Each structure stands twice: as C-alpha cells, then as structure tokens.
Copies of this chain bind each other. A is one copy, B any other.
Amino acid sequence: MPKNSEKTTVSPSPERREELLATAAEVFAAQGYNATTVRKIADAAGMLAGSLYYHFDSKESMLDEILSAFLDELWARYDAVLASGLGPRQTLEALVTESFREIDRHRAAVAIYQKESKHLLDEPRFHYLADSQARFEKAWLGTLERGVATQVFRADLDSRLTYRFLRDTVWVAASWYRPGGQHSPEEIARQYLSMVLEGIAVRE
C-alpha cells in the first residue's frame, strides 16, 4: 500500500510528511475522520501507530494539515481566476473547471472537507474553514449576481438557492469521482456546466 515502494530510500522529512498525509487522507476519506483510528493510518503507511507521532502532533493536526493544504491550493487557483477580469459566465466556467481539477488532484481532501467541515466549524482550530466558506460564498454568489445584472443568468431564480445548488453540485462529485476514470476533470466540468447552464430538458 505504501506509494513509491520501489524507492525505499529514506526520504528527507517534508516528502515523508507528504506521503503520510496522503495516506491519512485516503483513509479519512474512505472511513470518515472519527471512524479512522491512528492504527489504521499507521497500518496503511506500514508503521506502528506510535511512530506517526514522530511526524505529527496528533490525529487532529493531520486533518488540519490536509484541509489547509487543500484550501491553500484551491484559493491560489480561484484567486487567479477572479483576478483575470473575465465576464460572469466565463468566470463561472473557470471556477467550475478549477474545482473539478482540484477534485482530480486532491480527491481525498475534498471528500473529507465535504463530510467533516460542518461539525469542525465550531472548533477554534478550524475557524479558517468558516473564513474560507465566507470567501467562497462571496466569489460564487458575486459572480452569479453579476451575471444576473448583466442578463447572462436568469433573474427569476433565488440567487442564494442557485448558489447552494451550484456549490453542492460541484463538490459532492468528490464522493464518487475516481481519478484516472473514463472522463477527464475537464470533460466532467464541461458536461456539468452544460447541464447547469442549459438544463437537461430538450429545447423546443
């Protein structure tokens, strides 16, 4: 189960951390954070449970690193999109595409984020999740409202409802998406966008 098993040379610290975090993320995503014991993570990493504590303070800090690394990367991409001066429809398309790419790269982290973030919001350590959610809403809802104002998006829909619809629609995909499947992230994004923008009904 250890990745790169052909390269058993001792890796310099940061790479080993990454490996272990990737392993932990897979297990968290598959079983849920609470149902995952550190022993399961250690098993998957081929070491003893106690040995994980050489690399990490606690099970919680692993979760923390996984989620914050994911959000850091996501926001780097989102910010690039938002700074590029696109119109609302192109912005929406770019955000959706980046989201599916992020699911492709960090599937486990996204799945964990989906499942656990809600009851993590309360804990001080994870306040950044709430901050991120607020920025997220601002970016997406803003884009939608800009689109309504410029008449590229329908004005007869409740904007917050549409926002939630879009947001959930995209991220829930992490629960079934498998990297290396038959559709590339860009292809999935294209189909999703087609459904969301044009609808699934045949036009008369």
Chain A residues proximal to chain B, CB less than 8 Å: 30-32, 34-35, 89, 115-116, 118-119, 151-154, 156-158, 161-162, 164-166, 168-169, 172-173, 175-176, 183, 188, 191-192, 194-203
**Number of copies of this protein chain within its complex:** 4
Other than the known A154-B201, A197-B200, A203-B203, what 16 A-B pairs have Cβ atoms closer than 8 Å? Answer: A32-B32, A34-B34, A151-B202, A152-B202, A153-B200, A153-B202, A161-B183, A161-B188, A161-B191, A161-B192, A164-B176, A165-B195, A168-B172, A169-B169, A197-B199, A197-B201
The secondary structure that dominates the A interface is: helix
Residues of B within 8 A of A156 (CB): 194
State in angstroms the CA–CA spacing of A34 and B33 once bound together.
Answer: 9
Residue of B165, B175, B188, B203 touching A192 (CB-CB under 8 A): B165
Query: Closest 5 interchain pairs by CB?
Result: A199-B199, A34-B34, A168-B172, A197-B201, A198-B199
Contacts of A173 in B (CB 8 A): 164, 168
Q: How far apart are the CA atoms of A44 and B101 in the complex, in Å? A: 42
A191 — which chain B residues lie within 8 A by C-beta? Answer: 157-158, 161-162
Q: Please, how many angstroms separate the alpha-carbon atoms of A197 and B165 in the complex? A: 13
Assuming the contacts A34-B32, A196-B200, asked whether A175 and B168 have C-beta atoms less than 8 A apart, the reply is yes
- CB proximity of A173 to chain B, nearest CB, Å: 7
